[in-house]
Chain A
Amino acid sequence: MIKKSDFKAALILIISVIFLLSLQAASKAEAKQTGEVKDNPGKKIYEERCLVCHGRKGDGKGPASLMKRSEKSGRILEIKPRDFTLGAFRFRSTPTGCLPTEADLILLVDKGIPRSFMPPHKDQLTKEQKKAVVEYVKTFSTRWKEEEPCKPVVVRKPKWVGSKSSVEKGKKLYKDMKCWECHGDTGKGDGPKADLQKDDWGNKILAFDFTTGATKMGSDPENVYTAYTTGLDGAGMPSYEDSMSEADRWHLVSYTLKLMGKVK
């Protein structure tokens, strides 16, 4: 037999449980909402650290946007921060025309870009913070909603890279593939077409001077090979994935290393 008071107590219990559950759900929903609007950690980091160069809209027009750099040879480089709105990135592990992977972008945030003014943030941000800021950068271009990043290109360095015969073959390829038109006969970036190059944003760019030996994305043979395979999208450097065989690209890497003074 059920007592009336027992029933009453049970009813109160059920109602209070329902009330508490709904309250919790409501507060959760509220938390989710504010999370999107107010506490976007990526946006906060971007505005504190990135906006100064890359601009509020990610168009590369921040208050400190143009910087000049004088190379040892006296050549002046004009360095502009990346405009994220086109979604074109130079330094990727993916084939030309593709978006970079998340790991590519996090690597850039980590290492910075030496010789441009992108500083390394390895010790400055936590893993989550880096992820968040990369996510925020992705909001600047619609490409990120429309496309998926491709698979990274495979880099397998053959043993003979840097050998004398490979350097010789690379030297011939350098001539045949007309690398010298921009990079110059001696690799100083002073070829006949070096002055005519513009990037996708219409800014003048200078061909890389190999003799400085300081490639932005590292000067290991693998890095150079990646650049030749993926191309530097947005800049004048095309991809040679289709026009040269894998072996030829590695030969060219050998010759490049010689120009950079890394092999004899």
Chain B
Amino acid sequence: MRNRFFTWILFLSGGVLLIFTLLAAYRELTPEWEKYQAQYKEQIIKAAKDDAAKKKARQLKQEVQQLYLGALNRIDRCTSCHIGVENPRMASAKLPLKQHSGAYLKNHPPDKFGCSVCHYGQGRAVNKKEAHGLGHETHWDFPVMPLKYIQSSCTQCHDYETLTAKGYDTIAKGAKLFTEKGCRGCHKLDGIGGALGKKLDIVGSQPIAYFPMRHVEGEKTTYNWHKQHFTNPRALVPESEMKISVKPEETDLLATYVLSLRSGEMPKAYRKIKGRMAVGKPDEGEALYKMFCIACHTDGKESYYDEIFNHTIPSIKNPAFLKAAEDKYLKKVLEEGRAGTQMTSWKLAAGGLGESEINKLITYITKERPSSKPERFNVARFKPDEKRGGELYKVRCALCHGKKGEGELGVNLRNPVVQGADPEFLAITIRDGRAETPMPPFGKKGLSLTEQDLADLVSFVRTLSKTK
């Protein structure tokens, strides 16, 4: 009885094993590509015009196709399934037999370029799942690229102008957005840009592990990461300080652009350009302003409190500010940045701007500076009382500028630029306030502090950097 039971178990498990073995053998003997090649053969036999062509088609061998690309260090077997890519009769066939769209292959013969150099994916694989590299378990960092981003591959060899002239303008539009949305205010590219964000030089070649993929919706690819990150950075990286405002359709353009920023170069024989397409620095004030300032300062006409930075972002083109601030002061701010805030230092060694560029920026920012000068305020005339200034500061200023001048709603008063500013400039600012900003005038015309009060306040403000 007992023996019989175990015999049955053995018998059954043997049967299951056999079935699985047969299934595995069947799968190996009938690979995916063979099915597609059979379909392909059938279709070209049907489409053959005469007997000779038919005979030729019948002789077509079914085997794994392979493109060996020595110069590119790649082996692509994509044509095992996509066997009709070069066949014009396959123009209206279904994928994967369909002919390659457009006239790309005329100039990019597959035996020289292969497929994965533009389309990514795992060239050596011979089944769809592994070749396309989609799905987490394939462990492929660069799965086949969605066609909407495909122009990011073109700039490996071509420049924007040629591409645009031929009608492939996605990448150039993306590059234009990149320069006009002020991305470089925070991100360095080719050594030029702010220090708040990540460097972007090879962001298009970064593997999946480089990106926090946890909150990405759908397939966890770098492509989806970029698009969703441009839509809402904080959905993917909760602590992100990235400021971006683009229309939904612009996210694809920007994603195409950043995906084109790759490491490594194509061999010289392939390239139509010398090196990588560089964005460069514009030579004109307005363009410089857009490239480096606009992401935070917007049009520069209004100051606003920013919940991402937890600071007020000042309006740098506000006439009331320009009236009091001299070029010398602006230059210092641009060159040194403002420690304690998000404002980066822009000198050559840091943000990468030369003196002439900084001067051009200042000229642009101060274009609407009023010709009238503010009424002078001879601070030296008063004997300032620091202690009294401190009392006044506590009541009048601390709620916005912080007890130690660390700033929140008001600007940070501890940083070297404010501390090193001319006392008269500080006194005038407190006296007249800043029109169009929350800083009110504290002088006679506003909140009626006396000139002595103002002088006391200035002397106290200039001690703030020493308080801990």
CB contacts under 8 Å to B, within A58-100, are 62-64, 66-74, 76
Minimum distance in angstroms from A203 CB to a CB of chain B: 16
Q: Determine whether the beta carbon of B439 is less than 8 Å from that of A70.
A: no
- Report if B197 contacts A (CB, 8 A): no
Q: Determine whether the beta carbon of B305 is less than 8 Å from that of A63.
A: no
Contacts of A67 in B (CB 8 A): 304-305, 409, 438
A160–B441 Cα gap in the complex (Å)?
52
Q: Determine whether the beta carbon of A49 is less than 8 Å from that of B395.
A: yes
Contacts of B439 in A (CB 8 A): 64
Minimum distance in angstroms from B389 CB to a CB of chain A: 15
Q: Tell whether A74 pairs with B234 under 8 Å between CB atoms, given A68-B303, A117-B305.
A: no
A69–B312 Cα gap in the complex (Å)?
8
- Report if B399 contacts A (CB, 8 A): yes
Q: Tell whether A51 pairs with B447 under 8 Å between CB atoms, given A64-B438, A64-B439, A68-B302.
A: yes
A sample of 5 inter-chain contacts (CB < 8 A) reads A52-B396, A62-B440, A67-B305, A70-B304, A117-B409
**Binary CB contact string for chain A from 112 to 130 against chain B (1 if under 8 A, 0 otherwise):** 0001010100001000000
Minimum distance in angstroms from B254 CB to a CB of chain A: 15
Contacts of A69 in B (CB 8 A): 304-307
- Report if A48 contacts B (CB, 8 A): yes
Contacts of B244 in A (CB 8 A): 74
Q: Considering residues A62, A68, A115, A119, which has the most beta carbons from chain B within 10 angstroms of its beta carbon? A: A68
Those 3 A-B pairs whose CB atoms lie nearest each other, nearest first: A63-B440, A68-B304, A64-B440
- Report if B369 contacts A (CB, 8 A): no
Minimum CB distance partner of A112 in chain B? B399
Contacts of B302 in A (CB 8 A): 68
Q: Determine whether the beta carbon of B234 is less than 8 Å from that of A72.
A: yes
A63–B396 Cα gap in the complex (Å)?
13
Q: Tell whether A48 pairs with B395 under 8 Å between CB atoms, given A67-B305, A72-B307.
A: yes
CB contacts under 8 Å to A, within B377-403, are 395-396, 399-400
Q: Determine whether the beta carbon of B307 is less than 8 Å from that of A71.
A: yes
Q: Determine whether the beta carbon of B308 is less than 8 Å from that of A63.
A: no
A66–B436 Cα gap in the complex (Å)?
8
Q: Tell whether A63 pairs with B447 under 8 Å between CB atoms, given A68-B303, A69-B307, A72-B234.
A: yes
Minimum CB distance partner of A48 in chain B? B395
Q: Tell whether A52 pairs with B440 under 8 Å between CB atoms, given A63-B446, A117-B409, A119-B399.
A: yes
**Binary CB contact string for chain A from 182 to 215 against chain B (1 if under 8 A, 0 otherwise):** 0000000000000000000000000000000000
Contacts of B306 in A (CB 8 A): 69-70
Q: Determine whether the beta carbon of A70 is less than 8 Å from that of B303.
A: no
**Binary CB contact string for chain B from 286 to 308 against chain A (1 if under 8 A, 0 otherwise):** 00000000000000001111111
Q: Determine whether the beta carbon of A117 is less than 8 Å from that of B438.
A: yes
Contacts of B162 in A (CB 8 A): none
A49–B244 Cα gap in the complex (Å)?
36
Minimum distance in angstroms from A149 CB to a CB of chain B: 28
Contacts of B400 in A (CB 8 A): 117, 119
Contacts of A49 in B (CB 8 A): 395, 399
A62–B438 Cα gap in the complex (Å)?
10
Minimum distance in angstroms from A234 CB to a CB of chain B: 22
- Report if B245 contacts A (CB, 8 A): yes
Contacts of A68 in B (CB 8 A): 302-305
Minimum distance in angstroms from A99 CB to a CB of chain B: 26
Minimum CB distance partner of A69 in chain B? B305
- Report if B433 contacts A (CB, 8 A): yes
Minimum CB distance partner of A47 in chain B? B447
Q: Determine whether the beta carbon of B396 is less than 8 Å from that of A70.
A: no
A248–B308 Cα gap in the complex (Å)?
35
Contacts of B399 in A (CB 8 A): 49, 119, 124
A66–B303 Cα gap in the complex (Å)?
10
Q: Considering residues B234, B313, B399, B446, which has the most beta carbons from chain A within 10 angstroms of its beta carbon? A: B399
Besides A48-B395, A67-B438, A72-B234, 14 new A-B residue pairs in contact (Cβ under 8 A), listed by A number? A52-B440, A62-B440, A63-B440, A63-B446, A64-B433, A64-B438, A67-B409, A69-B307, A70-B304, A70-B307, A70-B313, A74-B244, A117-B400, A119-B399
**Binary CB contact string for chain B from 420 to 438 against chain A (1 if under 8 A, 0 otherwise):** 0000000000000100001
Q: Considering residues A62, A69, A71, A115, which has the most beta carbons from chain B within 10 angstroms of its beta carbon? A: A69
Minimum CB distance partner of A49 in chain B? B395
Q: Tell whether A63 pairs with B307 under 8 Å between CB atoms, given A49-B395, A51-B447, A68-B302.
A: no
Contacts of A73 in B (CB 8 A): 232
A201–B433 Cα gap in the complex (Å)?
26
A11–B302 Cα gap in the complex (Å)?
79
Q: Determine whether the beta carbon of B305 is less than 8 Å from that of A70.
A: yes
Q: Determine whether the beta carbon of B395 is less than 8 Å from that of A70.
A: no
A66–B440 Cα gap in the complex (Å)?
11
Minimum distance in angstroms from A206 CB to a CB of chain B: 14
Q: Determine whether the beta carbon of A70 is less than 8 Å from that of B308.
A: yes
- Report if B271 contacts A (CB, 8 A): no
CB contacts under 8 Å to B, within A32-69, are 48-49, 51-52, 62-64, 66-69
A123–B175 Cα gap in the complex (Å)?
52
Contacts of B447 in A (CB 8 A): 51-52, 63
- Report if B243 contacts A (CB, 8 A): yes
Minimum CB distance partner of A51 in chain B? B447
A73–B446 Cα gap in the complex (Å)?
35
Minimum distance in angstroms from B327 CB to a CB of chain A: 27
A64–B397 Cα gap in the complex (Å)?
13
Contacts of A62 in B (CB 8 A): 440
Q: Determine whether the beta carbon of B304 is less than 8 Å from that of A76.
A: yes
A72–B305 Cα gap in the complex (Å)?
11
Q: Determine whether the beta carbon of A63 is less than 8 Å from that of B433.
A: yes
Minimum CB distance partner of B439 in chain A? A64
Minimum distance in angstroms from A45 CB to a CB of chain B: 9
CB contacts under 8 Å to A, within B225-273, are 232, 234, 243-245
A260–B236 Cα gap in the complex (Å)?
18
Minimum distance in angstroms from B81 CB to a CB of chain A: 42
Minimum distance in angstroms from B438 CB to a CB of chain A: 5
Minimum distance in angstroms from A153 CB to a CB of chain B: 31
Q: Determine whether the beta carbon of A48 is less than 8 Å from that of B304.
A: no
Contacts of A63 in B (CB 8 A): 433, 440-441, 446-447
A49–B398 Cα gap in the complex (Å)?
10
A119–B394 Cα gap in the complex (Å)?
13
Contacts of B303 in A (CB 8 A): 68
A120–B202 Cα gap in the complex (Å)?
47
**Binary CB contact string for chain B from 434 to 454 against chain A (1 if under 8 A, 0 otherwise):** 000011110000110000000
Minimum CB distance partner of A62 in chain B? B440
Contacts of B446 in A (CB 8 A): 63
Q: Tell whether A48 pairs with B245 under 8 Å between CB atoms, given A70-B305, A72-B234.
A: no
